[in-house]
Amino acid sequence: MSKSHNIYLAMTLVSAMLMAAIGPLARWSETAPEVVTFYRVFIGAACIVVLGVLQKRRFSLAFKPTLQSIMAGVALTGFMVAYVKAVELMPMAEAVMIMYLAPLLAAVGAYVFFGEKLTGLSLAMVGLALAGFVLMIDFDARPSGMDETYAFGLMFALTACLSYTSFILINRRPSKLEPIQSTLVQLSVASLLLAYFAVDAGIPEQEQWLWLVLIGVGPGFLAMVFAVQALSRIPAVTYGTLAYMEPLTVAVLAWGFFGEVMNTQQLIGAACIILAGLVKARVASKSY
């Protein structure tokens, strides 16, 4: 394995861990989910523009957005906002595990809409992931006044999952744009969709800016750039396998910073989802 290949593998892992950081950073910012997401995508897009100016020989900023990239931007907005909202209303680890049903659901969607191959083992892994999803739901989470909150959190987590599934399916289709150009369009579309909420909320407090800048530069910019660079050099199935570092990182962060500990049933559910995703990616890698 070449040194350069190892660098792109490292980029993938760093990208996944940076994505995982959005949950804690969003909580510490004490800012509305829509506002958090706006600064994440706006600062991320601004950083890509700066990168484009500095590296104009590598990619051009003069291009026409495609309908596909715009639709992906809408899906991106949906899953980012819904996920941040979900982690406010339910345990962080549960929210991200539910969202990570998306790669498996996308495999089914690709079979239905694009005619991509879906084997019996793949179907079995989807079933295992769905079983894990059921185990992840804490049906006994009914302390006084919290049952409705948990239900809303679950609704947002499911919305994030379905939006993420759409995001994956849209981006799996060939695009006329370079990956980093498509990323810029998607972040820009999300910024426009969320601009109203940012304006309505007013200028963030001084103590909130640190968290918002970290969100924009980390999960918004670096994670996206590393992901784009890695996907241009390593197989998507390899990327998908390593991306499962994100839910594991979220579980560790939720335990370390917020004392959120999953019970035995939920740990089994999380293991089912991760195992299903890893097996599915491993099976797919054999076709390369």
DSSP character string of 132-192: HHHHHS-TT---TTTHHHHHHHHHHHHHHHHHHHHHHHHHHS--SS-HHHHHHHHHHHHHH
Given a cut of 70, whether residue 156 has pLDDT beyond it is yes
Token pair of 72, please? 């992906």
pLDDT at 39: 93
Given a cut of 90, whether residue 7 has pLDDT beyond it is no
Q: What are the angstrom distances between the C-alpha of 185 and each of 7, 66, 113, 180?
A: 26, 9, 24, 9
Q: CA 164, CA 141: separation in Å to the nearest integer? A: 26
- 101: closest CA among 155, 144, 142, 161? 161
Q: What percent of the chain has pLDDT over 90?
A: 18
Instruction: Quote the number of domains for the chain.
Output: 1
- Interval 157-188: pLDDT, tens: 999 999 988 988 888 777 788 878 888 999 99
**If you ran DSSP here, which 8-state letter would residue 61 be given?**
S
Residues 226, 12 contacting (CB under 8 angstroms)? yes
Domain boundaries, position 9: 3-285
Token pair of 184, please? 């810029």
Residue 187 CA from chain centroid, whole number: 13
- Interval 59-96: pLDDT, tens: 778 888 999 999 999 998 998 889 888 988 888 778 88
Given a cut of 60, whether residue 146 has pLDDT beyond it is no
Q: What residues have CB less than 8 Å from 16, skipping those under 6 apart?
A: 223, 242, 243, 244, 245, 246, 249
Q: What residues have CB less than 8 Å from 155, skipping those under 6 apart?
A: none
pLDDT at 163: 94
Token pair of 67, please? 């309908």
Given a cut of 90, whether residue 2 has pLDDT beyond it is no
Mean pLDDT score of the chain: 81
Given a cut of 50, whether residue 154 has pLDDT beyond it is yes
Residue 283 CA from chain centroid, whole number: 22
pLDDT at 144: 47
Helix (H) or strand (E) holding 19, with range, is: helix 3-20
Token pair of 12, please? 């993938």
Given a cut of 70, whether residue 138 has pLDDT beyond it is no
Q: CA 123, CA 119: separation in Å to the nearest integer? A: 6
Q: CA 185, CA 191: separation in Å to the nearest integer? A: 10
Q: CA 12, CA 241: separation in Å to the nearest integer? A: 10
Mean pLDDT of 260-274: 83
- Interval 218-252: pLDDT, tens: 998 888 878 777 766 666 556 666 777 777 788 77
Q: What are the angstrom distances between the C-alpha of 210 and each of 17, 51, 69, 216, 286?
A: 19, 22, 30, 10, 44
